[in-house]
Amino acid sequence: MTVKPITDPVIAIDVMGGDAGPADVLAAVDIAAERYPKARFRLHGREADIVAALGKLPRLRARAEIFHTDDVVLGTDKPSQALRRSRTSSMGMAIQSVKDGAAHAAVSAGNTGALMALSLFALRTMDGIDRPALAALLPTLKNDSVVLDLGANTECDTENLVQFAIMGAAFARTVLGLDRPRVALLNIGEEELKGTGEIKDAAGLLRGADLPMAFQGFVEGDKIGQGDVDVIVTDGFSGNIALKTAEGTGKLVTGLLAQAFRSSWLTQIGYFLSRGALRALRAHLDPNAHNGAVLLGLNGLVVKSHGSANIRGIANAIGVAHDLVVDQVGERIARDLANFRAHRPDIADAEAPL
Amino acid sequence: MTVKPITDPVIAIDVMGGDAGPADVLAAVDIAAERYPKARFRLHGREADIVAALGKLPRLRARAEIFHTDDVVLGTDKPSQALRRSRTSSMGMAIQSVKDGAAHAAVSAGNTGALMALSLFALRTMDGIDRPALAALLPTLKNDSVVLDLGANTECDTENLVQFAIMGAAFARTVLGLDRPRVALLNIGEEELKGTGEIKDAAGLLRGADLPMAFQGFVEGDKIGQGDVDVIVTDGFSGNIALKTAEGTGKLVTGLLAQAFRSSWLTQIGYFLSRGALRALRAHLDPNAHNGAVLLGLNGLVVKSHGSANIRGIANAIGVAHDLVVDQVGERIARDLANFRAHRPDIADAEAPL
């Protein structure tokens, strides 16, 4: 199978999702339109709001089509409530346009639970993938690392973890531009006897497999920030805990730092002299620079922008969608899965779809 | 049941455990001897090393007894290898002296897996506790928080989590000096529908119980650093991931900060002016200030000092052991468990030991 790049991607945007509001979402789409001159956009949301914003964005207006709806999935809506509006809400319509083949990817900054439920319902999992995984980039001392699953699946079995590793490696090849990403399973020790049975079995399968990745075994939580591994694979519960603990600790340390600088006039001068470098530090850790979590393993791409992302952050999430479409990450995953199965007939027999 | 304080605690020390070496471990015990004038110490390890160090520590020498052994559990020993030396190794002998009633608590900076295995084997779990939990303090923006389990149990059921909550609250009452600690279960969302069945069921049991704690429901990983909850309850896998991710992120941010300060002569002057406040920040986050993880739920107290702790850190771990002995945390846990069961006859019937 050859993977042909798609040169003119169409991206469906849920204009109403997230905290930013339609004007900022469309300003972000306009930045993406500038960056990707061949991309086109389907804008789902309130026509009046969209038309008003497009008045100031002629470049985007020329490459966008508007699909009106008044129905918006709220942050407080349960997945079951969102599922009932899969064809009427701006989020549901954006995903539906991927299903219908009218768009290559959908981007939304709305309710994560609703987005996962609507995406799974409309797009279904790829052949050979039992469950989708939410993947995103985390900052480290070196390059960014990919972490998945971040909360799509509370509990995972061995096969899920192996599939996540394959999907995460394909994602890293596109988004981090690596030929052979280093992949490890998140565990509570690096020794082979540590961890759950699922993790140990997944390590055994990945260790022997011929895949376009350098499998490194286990990695512990304290190594996530070091950047010595490119893809960190875990179940959605632990991944979510790790991601949010990292966020919280980052805030804790920068909060304590702000207290420290405020503590005397001497430290305030110290802050003043160092502020350029401190701003660079903040920029390195800024979630907007790493925005765009991807739901991998479905028949179609869905990218989740952080609900509180700013214009630049939303533009970055659209960029992630664009790059994954152009690189045909779904095709890559399908090819890697097929190779993996072909070389492990025990698994192929037991797990092949009937 | 009345809890009578123990005023003259005896603490058994594994002099050989950890990276510090016998001289530093004994320097730490000497600090504890100064802080707690009524405490006495049983020193397990190589007599020649101990006698040499005690030559300079007359205060400690007067209140310590030496128990010689040449056998030391190594950092690389598996739990099964350590178990074979439960009566000959310095770690095993320290725990054995708690079992024999010769000491109230044991402290070791040695191999965590070995320490947990030896402790469980020698001391067994308390009545009503199915599994022990490793609990420790984490720094936050406000006061320290207790987190448990940090890795004693990879997988946990509902009853385990409820028991951990009761034990963690008792620990927080002693170590943090709180009357009614705020307790929450670590989860991937704060809504009631999130998380595993075990977590949801544990929340249901704790919500209705009459216990000396303020149960807060669920807490997410990003709130750990905020200090709005005193006790965070989770299974050992997620707890270990959260603890180590927090450690790693702390190192990431402080590493980036050091890079930022080195970036120009201006920022170097900025650092120079701010260094007092930055030192206070480092002290706040220093693991030595929070040293002393406790294995709760056994018939006897065992405290794990971090393997790389310095003299002050080891002294703090001995202090944790001392305070828990004086406050009789084991009796408190037994009393809270009995109350919990008395008010929940459904549980008492199903779970009472036959």
DSSP A140-187: -SSS-EEEE-SSS-SS--HHHHHHHHHHHHHHHHHHT--SS-EEEEE-
As a residue count, chain B comes to 354
Rounded to a whole number, what is the distance in Å from the CA of A84 to chain B's nearest CA? 18
Q: Which residue of B has its CA nearest to A262?
A: B277
Q: Phi, psi (5° rounding) for residue A219?
A: -135, 145
- pLDDT of A197 higher than 90: no
Rounded to a whole number, what is the distance in Å from the CA of A279 to chain B's nearest CA? 9
Q: How confident is the model at residue B352 (pLDDT cuts 50, 70, 90)?
A: very low
CA angle A124, A125, A127 (to 5 degrees): 125
Any idea which of B11-15, B165-169, B174-178, B187-191 has the lowest mean pLDDT?
A: B187-191
- Contact: A252, B155; criterion CB under 8 Å: no
Homologous superfamily of A130-289 in CATH?
Isopropylmalate Dehydrogenase (3.40.718.10)
Query: Is B196 in CB contact (< 8 Å) with chain A?
Result: yes
| Summary mean pLDDT of chain A | 89
- Contact: B242, A241; criterion CB under 8 Å: yes
Could you say which of A141, A267, A284 has the minimum Cβ distance to residue B273? A267
Tokens 């869905």 appear where?
A302
Angle separating helix axes A47-54 and A22-35, nearest 10 degrees = 50
d(CA B285, CA B250): 8
Query: Is B330 in CB contact (< 8 Å) with chain A?
Result: no
- Contact: A250, B246; criterion CB under 8 Å: no
**Cβ pair B17, B109 in contact under 8 A:** yes
Q: Which two tokens stand for residue B63?
A: 């209140």
* Partner B, chain A 217-256, Cβ-Cβ below 8 Å: 220-226, 234, 236-238, 240-256
Strand partners, B67: B44
pLDDT tens readout for residues B194-243: 788 899 999 999 998 888 999 999 999 988 888 899 999 999 999 999 99
Q: Which two tokens stand for residue B209?
A: 């119980």
Could you say which of B196, B255, B261 has the minimum Cβ distance to residue A277? B261
Name the segment(s) of chain B with CATH classification 3.40.718.10. 1-129+297-327, 136-289
d(CA A189, CA A199): 11
Tokens 């309130």 appear where?
A46
Name the segment(s) of chain A with CATH classification 3.40.718.10. 1-129+297-326, 130-289
d(CA A352, CA B283): 56
Classify domain A1-129+297-326 by CATH number: 3.40.718.10
Query: Is A257 in CB contact (< 8 Å) with chain B?
Result: yes
pLDDT tens readout for residues A30-65: 999 999 999 999 999 999 999 999 999 999 999 999
Query: Is B75 in CB contact (< 8 Å) with chain A?
Result: no
- pLDDT of B348 higher than 80: no
Q: Which two tokens stand for residue B273?
A: 């002016």
Burial class (CB in 10 A: 0-12, 13-18, 19+), B237: buried
- Contact: B154, A188; criterion CB under 8 Å: yes
Rounded to a whole number, what is the distance in Å from the CA of A225 to chain B's nearest CA? 6
- Contact: B256, A281; criterion CB under 8 Å: yes
Beta-carbon contacts of B277 under 8 Å, excluding residues fewer than 6 positions away, are A260, A261, A263, A264, A267, A270
Q: CA nearest A137: which of A297, A284, A345?
A: A284
d(CA B158, CA B148): 14
Tell me the mean pLDDT in the region A230-244: 94
d(CA A283, CA B349): 57
Most confident of A72-76, A193-197, B223-227, B268-272: A72-76
pTM reported for the whole predicted model? 0.86
pLDDT tens readout for residues B319-335: 999 999 998 888 889 98
Pairing of strands A133-138, A40-45: unpaired
Classify domain B136-289 by CATH number: 3.40.718.10
As a residue count, chain A comes to 354
CA angle B52, B58, B59 (to 5 degrees): 130
Q: Which spans in chain B are helix H?
A: 22-35, 47-54, 58-62, 79-83, 90-99, 112-123, 158-175, 197-208, 236-262, 265-285, 311-326, 329-342, 345-351
d(CA A271, CA A275): 6
**Cβ pair B298, B124 in contact under 8 A:** yes
| Summary mean pLDDT of chain B | 89
d(CA B214, CA B216): 6
Q: What is the pLDDT of residue A191?
A: 73
Give this complex's ipTM. Answer: 0.83
pLDDT tens readout for residues B112-152: 989 999 999 999 999 989 999 999 998 888 888 999 999 88
- Contact: A270, B274; criterion CB under 8 Å: yes
Q: Which fold has domain B1-129+297-327?
A: Isopropylmalate Dehydrogenase (3.40.718)
Percent of chain A with pLDDT over 70: 95
